[in-house]
Structure 1
């Protein structure tokens, strides 16, 4: 169990369920910049060439091509659209609420309510240590049972 948790912690956090290449992850992170470049008139081929110079390649190690870049961008946009659509259709339901999960670094350690914690007086209860003291304590507690009428 611990090994699995350690291995999971070492893996990079994914935005989607499954990314098969590092190129997809890199392009997802650079998507706003790629959109700006396209809006300013830069061609897909020029963007693909620039990414290839930055060592972003296809799965087989080949330089990224313009057609492959456009297909990856299209896949990312389709995934984002599906995710948005899923969230929009889920939240209006009366029995479903948005996720309240927080990242692990923002989680607070759980604590007992003050009325459930042990009082300091209870912690300092003296316990008999010898057999004779134990016997006397039990005798005193049950003395009323031993009285003769």
Structure 2
């Protein structure tokens, strides 16, 4: 059965709009969502010497419970905080790895919008070298092909 590309795009956008706005693919409990949202406050409370049990009790009083209405325990809270911090740390490591990749350039648009280098593109450098003649024995590199395409695009869009 062939796919209708327009319908697929429309349905995917609708499904994406219905998903909760979280940084992860699947968030199964409201406790995790509450801990993720309140993590800065939880860290401040811990730095001020407030115990895990007191924080869990306060969260339970605001309706954050585990299971079917069971009050949040200190053990469960510490487990979820540890899990959320590990997810944040792994995400930061992945993003740092992506930024250090030499095959991704600033102009490729592959950096996240939150990355400072992704917001402003550098001015184009000197005119790129044209592709070698097709009869040449030296094959063109991917970078040369990309620069030649960019050069052609600049020539096409150049104001007269």
How high is the TM-score relative to the length of structure 1?
Answer: 0.61
Larger relative contact order (C-alpha < 8 A, sep ≥ 6)?
1
The 4+ residue runs of structure 1 with deviation greater than 2 A are 1-8, 96-103
1:48 corresponds in structure 2 to 56
**1:51-94 CA distance string (max 9 Å, x none):** 00111111333111000000000001111111111122222121
Cα distance in 2, alignment partners of residues 85 and 100 from structure 1 = 14
Q: How many residue pairs were aligned? A: 105
Instruction: Let me know the Cα RMSD of the aligned residues.
Output: 2.3
Structure with bigger gyration radius: 1
Aligned 1:16-35 pairs, distance under 5 A: 16-35=24-43
Structure 2 unmatched ranges of 5 or more: 1-7, 115-155
Structure 1 unmatched ranges of 5 or more: 104-114, 117-149
Q: Say which is worse superposed, 30-39 or 2-11, in terms of deviation.
A: 2-11
